[in-house]
Amino acid sequence: MKADYNLDWMQNVGQETDYEPLPEFQRPEDEWQKQRLGMITGSNFGKLVKTDRKGGYVLSSGKVADDLIYKIAWMRLLRQGAISDGLGRLSVNSASMTHGNDFEPLAVQCYEERTGNKVKYVQSFVEYDEWIGGTPDGYVDDDGIIEVKCPWNGGNHLQSILEQKVYNPEYVYQIQGYLWITDRKWCDFITYDPDLIDELQLNIIRVERDDNMIAGISEVMDQVKQRIQEIINQIEKR
C-alpha cells in the first residue's frame, strides 16, 4: 500500500511498539546558516576530494571544486563583516529537498523500530575547527551516527537495496567526514522511499570508519583552507 502524503498518518506509525514518536525537529534557518557560514561542511567533501590513479586522495581540479572554494571564500568575507540579508542568497530549496525534509523524521522512526537503536535526533552543527564542520542527521549510542537520504529518484533507493552500497560516491566522503568530525566508529546509511510497499520502504547500510580515507580528507582540507585564505588575502589587498 502506498504512503499517504498527508503527514497526519505519521502519528500512527509504530503505535504497537514501545518507541515514542520523534519530536519534530525545528531550527531557526538563519541561525543555522550563520553557524556554517564560510565553513567547509561535510556535504562539500565529496566535491573537493577525489582519488588519483594510485588510490591516494587529492584535491579535485575540476570546475565544481573551484567554484565551491570561491563560494566558501565569499562566505568567509561575509562572515567577517555584518551578516545581513545576504544570507537569503544561501538558501536553497527544491522539490527533492522538500521531499527529503518531509520524510526524514519518519525514516528515522522506522530505523529505530527495525534496529532497536535509539537515535539522538538533534542535528546541531558540529565545528571540528574554525574551518570545518557539519550536521550529522543523528547519533546512536556513543559510537554511531546516521545519514538519511529520501531520494527523489526512487531508483537510487532500489540501487541501495540491491547493491548494498552507498549509491553516490560523494555521500561516502560525507559519511567519513562526519565520522571524522564526531570521532565516531560507524554510520548507518539509511535510504527511505515512502511510495513503495512497507517491506521495501527502508534500507540500512552499515559503513565503518575508514581512517585511511579520513586521513586523505584531512590532508585535502588543509589544501582547501590554504587556497581559500589565499583568495581572501588577494581580495583584501585590492
pLDDT digits (tens, 9 = 90+) for 154-179: 999 999 999 999 999 999 999 999 99
Cite the beta strand spans of 23-172 per DSSP E: 40-41, 49-51, 57-59, 119-120, 126-127, 132-134, 138-140, 144-149
Rounded to whole angstroms, the Cα distance separating 34 from 6 reads 32
Rounded to whole angstroms, the Cα distance separating 201 from 204 reads 10
> Which CATH number characterizes residue 91's domain?
3.90.320.10
Q: How confident is the model at residue 89 (pLDDT cuts 50, 70, 90)?
A: low
Query: Residue 11 domain-assigned?
Result: no
> Mean pLDDT, the chain, as a whole number?
85
Q: How confident is the model at residue 81 (pLDDT cuts 50, 70, 90)?
A: confident
Number of domains in the chain: 1
Residue 132: φ, ψ to 5°: -120, 140
pLDDT of res. 86: 58
Helix, strand, coil proportions of the chain in percent (round to 5)? 50, 15, 35
Query: Residue 17 domain-assigned?
Result: no
pLDDT of res. 15: 42
pLDDT of res. 102: 76
How many CA atoms, within 13 angstroms, populate the side-chain half-sphere of residue 91? 11
Range of the domain at 142: 27-236
Query: Residue 14 domain-assigned?
Result: no
The pTM is what? 0.81
Q: Which three cell numbers stand for residue 140?
A: 546512536
pLDDT of res. 1: 36
CB 122, CB 105: distance < 8 Å: no
Q: What angle do CA 118, 11, 205 make, to 5 degrees?
A: 40
Query: Residue 18 domain-assigned?
Result: no
Contacts of 40 (CB under 8 A, 6+ apart): 48, 72, 131, 132, 133, 221, 224, 225, 228
Query: Residue 21 domain-assigned?
Result: no
Query: Residue 15 domain-assigned?
Result: no
Percentage above 90 pLDDT, the chain: 70
Query: Residue 1 domain-assigned?
Result: no
Query: Residue 143 domain-assigned?
Result: yes
pLDDT, one tens digit per residue, over 190-238 is 999 999 999 999 999 999 999 999 999 999 999 999 999 999 999 988 8
pLDDT of res. 25: 40
